[in-house]
């Protein structure tokens, strides 16, 4: 049974009070079950080209995909090219992004990123990790998503809050830093599975392994998950 930590964590995630044992030996078995459970994972964000994918992903930080799809439904009709974002009035762009949350920071980053794309990359969204993460507001998570979805290039694993939570609960990593979690997952998975791992863990995190009340009793991998005994026992 997982060992309880000496001091209670301040996090809202109940399982963080425990030291979850290493469970990497069961990665392949768990991955097979999850792939069978979610055979047709697809992106949640709406987009039709690399620029829209980049903008939508930047906006999705600290928001829901449903809300961002509402925002971009109007946004993508108004701003059709990277030059439109680069030359946009910042206050007006802030108003257009208002309901996405943290709209001032997002507007500033999007405008600055668009200007860099115009000036440095000839108006084309970059196609490499190094170039993408040089853009304002773009980290490895966003870059991984853009590369995989827009260009079919798999560099690594996009680690969001769901991927972080599920991979820690499953005992695939003890890290809390997204970049380190990404490297842990890369070391476990086959390269061709890297992109689908992110989407699959997101699906599982949203549908079953939820933050506050995970549905362990109906979880397809509960018998292989070191955290299930904690949650089931706490109910």
List active site positions.
141, 160
Residues linked to residue 4 through DSSP beta bridges, in sequence order:
18
Tell me if 220 sits within 8 A of 37, measured CB to CB.
yes
Residues linked to residue 101 through DSSP beta bridges, in sequence order:
none
Residue 123's SS3 state is coil
The C-alpha atoms of residue 146 and residue 58 are separated, in whole angstroms, by 10
Tell me if 169 sits within 8 A of 20, measured CB to CB.
yes
Residues contacting residue 122 through CB under 8 Å, at least 6 positions apart = none
The C-alpha atoms of residue 232 and residue 234 are separated, in whole angstroms, by 5
């Amino acid at each position: 049974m997982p060992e309880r930590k000496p001091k209670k964590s301040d996090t809202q995630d109940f399982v963080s009070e425990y030291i979850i044992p290493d469970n990497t030996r069961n990665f392949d078995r768990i991955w097979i079950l999850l792939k069978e459970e979610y055979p047709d994972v697809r992106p949640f964000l709406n987009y039709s080209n690399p620029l829209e994918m980049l903008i939508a992903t930047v906006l999705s930080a600290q928001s829901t995909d449903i809300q961002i799809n509402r925002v971009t439904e109007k946004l993508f009709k108004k701003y059709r090219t990277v030059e439109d974002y680069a030359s946009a009035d910042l206050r007006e762009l802030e108003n257009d992004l208002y309901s996405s949350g943290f709209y001032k920071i997002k507007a500033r980053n999007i405008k600055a990123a668009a200007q860099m794309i115009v000036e440095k990359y000839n108006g084309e969204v970059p196609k490499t990790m190094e170039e993408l993460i040089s853009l304002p507001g773009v980290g490895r998570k966003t870059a991984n998503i853009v590369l995989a979805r827009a260009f079919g290039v798999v560099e690594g694993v996009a680690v969001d809050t769901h991927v972080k939570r599920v991979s820690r609960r499953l005992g695939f990593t003890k890290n809390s830093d997204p970049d380190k979690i990404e490297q842990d997952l890369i070391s476990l998975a086959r390269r061709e599975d890297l992109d689908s791992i992110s989407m699959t863990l997101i699906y599982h995190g949203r549908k079953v392994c939820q933050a506050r009340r995970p549905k362990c009793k109906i979880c397809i991998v509960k018998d292989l998950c070191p955290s299930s005994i904690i949650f089931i026992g706490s109910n």
